[in-house]
Amino acid sequence: MSKRVEKNDLKLSSPVPLSIHPAAVYLSSISPGSVATMRSSLNVIASLLTEGECDAMTLNWARLRYQHTAAIRAIFKERYCATTANKMLCALKRVLAEAVRLDLMEATDYAKAVDFPKIKGKKKLRGRALSGDEISALIEVCRQDESPLGVRDAAIIAILRGTGLRRAELAALELRDFIADGGVLEVREGKGDKDRTVYLPHNVISYVNDWIAVRGDAPGALLCPIRKGGRIEGRHLHPDAVLKIVKKRATQAGVESFSPHDFRRTFCSDLLDAGVDIVTVQKLAGHASPETTAKYDRRGEETKRKAVQMLSI
């Protein structure tokens, strides 16, 4: 039986090379867009376990035992919604799994440490779908802005609405990823490091072409930051910048608050409402399974009412 591990035993006695550090190995295995969030989660866990004395890189993860993970779960259950808590606990489990693979932790200790149930939460759906009028209002406020910002933001909103891309995927797009003939966008290393091809609706292609006419045809990021005075920088937007752009345009358009991810929910819902099979929607959205796609369905009661009217007696 393993001895009880005290708080002081959780601190690394000396720096560990990143190649054999469980947290570093785990963070290097996930998509770039998830690293900051998961690193923050691990920092929170390390701080809680050591009363603020350790972060993700100075905690000795291999020394964690069930009493530690159970305590973290209890705190998270009180502090966070179920989805956030379970995501953070998943990061904890993944780090401990790397500790086993690196021969830093016994498999039996790992099995005990991760033997806790998921946190259950209310089944309330997150986010919402945007109406056609709301999307039109967002595009219109961009078109009224005749500066390069307006042209770029119209392209951003059009792409989000027309493809359902995640904001990190949008920010990572290169000029070479857009093929005007056919309205093709190549998404490289999306979530799970998976590539996929998506297609722009015909009326969206013109917004992207308008932006490229302003941006120029130099290789590099498709969607770029714009400095005061209209100077376009040749680098990628940060995903957080996409969030700020969408919120700014929503305020200007008088549209109820929403997130860039709600474009993704709208994309899935509208395709399903149009009769597109769920497997095709899954592939376009880059989901791992149709079950995930189904969770993005935000069609209301009217859709169910219409479906029932298709029955006859």
The domain segmentation of the chain, as residue ranges, is 7-113, 132-300
Q: Establish whether 191 is a catalytic residue.
A: yes
d(CA 74, CA 126): 23
Beta-bridge partners for 184: 179, 199
> Could you tell me where the DSSP H helices lie in 51-129?
66-79, 82-101, 107-113
pLDDT of residue 122: 64
pLDDT of residue 82: 87
Beta-bridge partners for 196: 187
pLDDT of residue 31: 87
pLDDT of residue 3: 42
Q: Establish whether 261 is a catalytic residue.
A: yes
Q: Establish whether 66 is a catalytic residue.
A: no
Active-site position among 21, 39, 296, 298: 296
pLDDT of residue 1: 32
Q: Establish whether 207 is a catalytic residue.
A: no
* Residue whose pair of structure tokens reads 């069609």 in the numeric block: 299
pLDDT of residue 2: 40
b/e per residue 188-221 (b: at least 16 CB within 10 A): eebbeeeebebebeeebbebbebbbebbeeeeeb
pLDDT of residue 296: 80
Active-site position among 191, 196, 247, 283: 191
What tokens were used for 262?
């709600």
> Could you tell me where the DSSP H helices lie in 102-129?
107-113
Active-site position among 21, 65, 152, 264: 264
Which of these, 209, 179, 158, 184, lies nearest to 284 by C-alpha position? Answer: 184
CA distances from 180 to 62, 184, 301 (A): 51, 7, 38
pLDDT of residue 34: 87
Active-site position among 65, 161, 166, 265: 166
Report the amino acid identity of residue 278: I
Q: Which CATH architecture has domain 132-300?
A: Orthogonal Bundle (1.10)
Low-confidence ranges of the chain (pLDDT < 50): 1-5
Which of these, 209, 212, 166, lies nearest to 189 by C-alpha position? Answer: 166
Active-site position among 77, 112, 196, 261: 261
Q: Establish whether 202 is a catalytic residue.
A: no
Q: Provide the pairing of β-strand 178-179 with 184-187.
A: antiparallel
Q: Establish whether 296 is a catalytic residue.
A: yes
